[in-house]
Structure 1
Amino acid sequence: MGTLLYSATMSLDGFIAGPGGDMSWLKPYIGPNPEVAELITGIGALLVGRRSFEGDDPNRGTEAEGKAFGGGWEGPQFVLSHRPPAADVPGVRFVSDLAQAVTEAKAAAGEKAVNVIGATVARGCLDAGLLDEVAVFVAPVLLGGGVRLFDRPDGPSVRLERISHSAAPLATNLRYRVLY
């Protein structure tokens, strides 16, 4: 099976969303990035937190709104939630147990990666020893507050092994393997 990968664009001061989950800050930093394009082609399924699934969209008001990676990816999505919606959402399965959600997403992804979207789900995967890799695209901006990439007060340190790093016009790309 493929890897469990957490990817996010992050401000230089460590935030992936602004205060209140605002994603509009990201708009000026969405642009050509070969690392992101390569990452997208390697994704077989998404594992998404409920707040991220229902949250703000940097593509709000465009035809890319509500589409994964701005419409650059399509496939099965697994949303971790204890409150599934009343109506089914096409292509989306709501799962309440983290281990079950990871197992189902990995089965759906086959040899490709499961991309984790959402800081809380990523932290849960890390704490459970399930997360394989982290890809961070650092944008040249200081947000000053919001949702951190990883917020683990008093959590144990986790060693990472660098897989790659590169520069793109709008971000610095970092990719790490998680060492448990």
Structure 2
Amino acid sequence: MRLASEHRGLIAKQRHFYLATVTPSGWPYLQHRGGPRGFVHVLDDHTLAFADFDGNEQFVSTGNIDAGGRVAMFFVDYPTRTRLKVFGTARVIAAEEDPDLHERLLDVPGGRIKSPSRRSIVVDVEAFDMNCRKYIVPRFEREAVDRMIAPYRDDLIAANARIKELEARVAELERGA
């Protein structure tokens, strides 16, 4: 299966996703992964990758990947109520094993990621699914809300200024009457 442009676009704008791995004993393990917009890179139609940021030093996900590699990635775009599940086989690559890849993954549309990272995770996509959006509650980031309400805020500021101007004019007319 090939990731289409709609899948690539949804992934590229995300600031987080949920990563599911499988423990050596067969149990699922789920972890939230976050970073700046675009931290998950679509390398091609079949491959995703991201820099693995230093965290709590437990290495559960990376250990599970080393043990078997099966992963699921769950992306949710709340404003459009869209979700994408990606299933694949992952591998952990130390930064020194492929420094060019690691450096590439630290570059995002907003600049360079400053969070410490010593490894990359590369996922060979085997399947994906976009399905029901019925119960996804829309959620918007502050910057998006600010953009949406800016025209109304500007109108309100202008209206309040005009009201003060008219009140001053009325007061002036009342003093003259």
TM-score (norm 2): 0.22
Task: Give the structure with the larger helix fraction.
Answer: 2
- What TM-score, normalized by structure 1, do the two folds share? 0.22
